[in-house]
Amino acid sequence: MKVEGFIDEYLKKYQNGMVERNYEDSSAFVSIKQIYDALGDEKYFSLIDEYLRRFVMEDGTIERGYADKFDSDSVNCSKLLFFMYDKTGEEKYRKAIEVVMNWLREHSEKLSPNQISMEELYMVQPFYMEYETRYDKKAKYSDIIKQFETADNCLHAGNETVDRIGLYLMSLIDSLSEMSFEIYEKYRKMQDMFKMTLTALLKNYDKESGSYYGNNAGNEENAMIAYAIIKACRMGIILKEKYASVGVEIVESLMENKLDDILGNARAVGPFISAYGQYMQLKKETEA
């Protein structure tokens, strides 16, 4: 089965899980934008459009119980609001962005450096960064970087496993992609954290299996790492000539050997689709 067929089959069977607001659902829908960016097929935009219109009202309020409780999974899905506002120009999405940002302000303790988890880092910080860049004159960049510095200290103290490292790298590269390069000192600090973590991780790459820690790292973790590497290469954060082949090898290994396993693991689907989207964009750029 071609990968696009695999993705389409998965999405066709997918049941909207917004009521449950779990990590797997939010990750899957965020990944659809990666495929849309890569392939330009409007059916993927239509899925995002249908998904968001179910719960974003005309006045920007968010239905189905969202506004009464902070939920990092909901913030993860809300990364798509910026895309939808740009794509459609509909003011309700701009208003909804403020609703989500108010959740973050009202529950600022969730962003405490001593409390934030790696999943929260991935789900919340890229949204926070994009908001700061677009609408808040980059005023809270230092607060965002503090979250990453705390996570970085945990990683390099050996307190995190490979799956946490994958989330950390995704968080960093997604936040960097929404960060203004004009604030160079802070941008460079984030860039250096990404490079240092990746360098340490590369020591455990097993070329024969096309994965980290050989077959001991799961499909989800390898997909997250591949996504981060390829996106970083495309952004110029790391040298494409040196690192792109590693990300490509991981994605191709997953495509050739692991599709059935991925389909059976809801947590792996979103990272894999995201990694494949970056893979396809890199391929198009290389062939251009």
Torsions phi, psi for 179 (to 5 deg): -95, 145
pLDDT of res. 38: 94
Are the CB atoms for 128 and 104 separated by under 8 Å? yes
Supply the Cα-derived Rg of the chain in whole angstroms.
Answer: 18
Please check the confidence at residue 215 and state whether its pLDDT lies above 70. no
Torsions phi, psi for 10 (to 5 deg): -65, -50
Prediction pTM value: 0.91
Report which of 169, 153, 145, 185 is spatially closest to residue 235, judged by C-alpha positions: 169
Residue 275 CA to residue 286 CA, distance in Å, equals 16
pLDDT tens digits along 124-181: 999 999 999 999 999 999 999 998 998 888 776 655 555 588 899 999 999 999 999 9
Please check the confidence at residue 51 and state whether its pLDDT lies above 90. no
pLDDT tens digits along 91-133: 999 999 999 998 888 776 555 555 567 888 898 999 999 999 9
Q: Which amino acid is at 168?
A: Y
pLDDT of res. 18: 44
DSSP string, 134-201: HHSTTTTHHHHHHHHHHHHHHHHTT-S-HHHHHHHHHHHHHHHHTS-TTSHHHHHHHHHHHHHHHHHH
Residue 268 CA to residue 286 CA, distance in Å, equals 27
